[in-house]
Chains A and B, each alone.
Chain A
């Protein structure tokens, strides 16, 4: 079993739709949870960064963490064609040089 599981998609939705992206994980030591966005032929860029359980909102993006279920989500409201990219969840432990563990990535296309 992989430490982090993410549905690879692809996911295709119309412009303006609400998008839900999800990851599950098995390592209860993970404390920091991130979402990266990766455009084609580019490196990943940090989108959201959350610590422990709860919600965090930034503009059209909301990140949710449910540590009891080992489940994290990213919601995109009023989706735009420019949101078309691969979304990677990533997580790491609390102390020291804990390496980031990435999900497989979900390829998202927003259709005009």
Chain B
């Protein structure tokens, strides 16, 4: 089965510019997650979707970050405007359905963002 796809793999922008990342989850997976992984740290959840509804966005900096999941499949994460501290790897993950006892998240390769 195909894994989680993300694009682009790398992005370099100037601070105050905008950037968008795209994620295509594993087919049939209802739940989609966006994580931020700063160098030397573990992934931190930014937002979780169940189908096309938001389940948890408590750690999403909503003044600059936004995300959507149209039709409950693909998702985009946007940063506008970017700050230096946004430099990180942005990981997308998907799972069959959150809340199940043995829910397993599968991660994509990530998008490495550098803000100059």
- Count, chain B residues at interface, CB 8 A: 25
Decide if B4 is an interface residue (CB 8 Å cutoff): yes
A100 CB contact (under 8 Å) in B45, B109, B112: B45
B16-54 interface code vs A (CB 8 A; 1 in, 0 out): 000000000000000000000000111111001010000
A45 to B106, CA, bound (A): 7
Decide if A104 is an interface residue (CB 8 Å cutoff): yes
Chain A-chain B contacts (Cβ-Cβ < 8 Å), number: 59
A90 to B110, CA, bound (A): 18
A9-42 interface code vs B (CB 8 A; 1 in, 0 out): 0000000000000000000000010001000011
Contact assessment for B98 and A97 in the assembled complex, using a CB-CB cutoff below 8 Å: yes
Min CB distance B21 to A, Å, is 13
CB contacts (< 8 Å) of A6 on chain B: these are: 42
Contact assessment for A46 and B43 in the assembled complex, using a CB-CB cutoff below 8 Å: no
Min CB distance B99 to A, Å, is 5
CB contacts (< 8 Å) of A88 on chain B: these are: 42-43
Given A51-B101, A99-B56: A90 and B42 interface contact (C-beta under 8 Å): yes
CB contacts (< 8 Å) of B102 on chain A: these are: 32, 49, 51
Decide if A54 is an interface residue (CB 8 Å cutoff): no
A43 CB contact (under 8 Å) in B40, B41, B99, B108: B108
16 A-B contact pairs sorted by A residue (CB < 8 Å): A41-B109, A41-B112, A43-B110, A44-B43, A44-B107, A49-B102, A51-B101, A88-B43, A96-B99, A97-B55, A97-B56, A97-B98, A98-B99, A104-B41, A105-B40, A105-B42
CB contacts (< 8 Å) of A99 on chain B: these are: 45, 48, 56
Q: Does more than half of chain B's interface fall in helix, strand or loop, or is it mixed?
A: loop
CB contacts (< 8 Å) of A68 on chain B: these are: none
A8 CB contact (under 8 Å) in B40, B101, B105: B40
Binding site for B on A (CB under 8 A): 4, 6, 8, 32, 36, 41-46, 49, 51, 88, 90, 95-100, 102-105
Given A46-B104, A102-B44, A104-B40: A97 and B99 interface contact (C-beta under 8 Å): yes
